Structure 1
Amino acid sequence: MKTMMMTMAAVAAIAAAIAPAVAQDAKAGEKVFLACKTCHAVLPGQNRIGPSLAGVVGRKSGLYPKYTYSAAMKAKNVVWTEANLDTYLTKPQAYVKGTKMAYGGIADAKKRKDVIAYLKTLK
């Protein structure tokens, strides 16, 4: 029991130490997202060159109404979890070969996490 409590304390200490490195900041993400607004709207039903990103977190890929997706995006068939969005936003063309999204990606992990935090606020 004592060893288990020490182990739990060690895990908590490690988690607390690394939490600031992966913390998400939706306000910072909104600023990073400004580059995305040319192609993506944030209001439901407003598609642009890309689909609206309202409610994108938790949504299935390639299914937003009244948007014509590439065959590659339709075939990807994933749910946009935070992890999937992080991978996609790192290098969209590598994650979905044949996507229409020409954007090169966000190399900075903190900026990606912030953008995802912002996307989570869009309903």
Structure 2
Amino acid sequence: MALTGKNKMLPLRRPMQTDPEPSMKNTAALSLALMLGSSLFSTFTLAAGDPEAGAKIFPRLCGGCHQVGESARPGFGPQLNGIIGRPAGTSANYVYSEAMKNSGVTWDRETLIAYLKDPKGVVPGTRMIFWGLSDEEKLDNLLAYLQTFSQ
């Protein structure tokens, strides 16, 4: 900083820096963007259904035990905010069965669909009491709805 009259601070000018390899910088940035984009896409390719239709399904099939949204708390089951990508048995303030805690499951589209079709088939010993849902459209809608709730 340079001093001028009445002790005002003015920034010093710096010489313009040139990038010796702009193409390398652009290539690196593009590579990073593609890598991050593809990993996010593969993680969040869930929304194949209609979240509004899923919002109508959730209270009937899930809402008796689970909550979603800003004020979601565990009930008979854990709250489901941020379920996509979360390891099973790790939601705070809920006491999971040993079977769920030790399942090694991370919830993604395929695992959630399999679990919602047959909970005890995916995690033997789970305490979840649910007869299963086999309707693919309803599953897609429900998962699209759940995806709208982050951590």
State the TM-score bracket (shorter-chain normalisation).
Answer: 0.7 to 0.9
The structure carrying a bigger helix percent of its residues is 1
Aligned-residue Cα RMSD (Å) equals: 1.5
TM-score by length of 2: 0.64
The answer for the alignment partner of 1:78 in structure 2 is 105
User: Which 5+ residue runs of structure 2 have no aligned equivalent?
Assistant: 1-46
1:25 aligns to what?
Answer: 50
Identity of aligned residues (%): 39
For 1:37-94, what per-residue CA distance to the aligned partner results, in whole angstroms no more than 9, with x for missing partners? 1100113650000000011111110011111001111111111101110111111111
Is 2:141 aligned against 1:107?
no
Question: Which residue among 122, 135, 142 is the counterpart of 1:95?
Answer: 122
Which one has a bigger Cα radius of gyration?
2
Counterpart amino acid of 1:113? D
Contact 1:61 1:80 in 2 (8 A): yes
What amino acid is aligned across from residue 87 of structure 2 in structure 1? K
The alignment covers a number of residue pairs equal to 102
Structure 1 stretches of at least 4 aligned residues deviating more than 6 Å after TM superposition = none
Cross-structure match for 1:6: none
CA distance in 1: counterparts of 2:99 and 2:93, whole angstroms: 17
TM-score w.r.t. the length of structure 1 is: 0.78
Secondary structure, in 3 states, of the residue corresponding to 2:124? coil
The residue identity in structure 2 corresponding to 1:66 is N
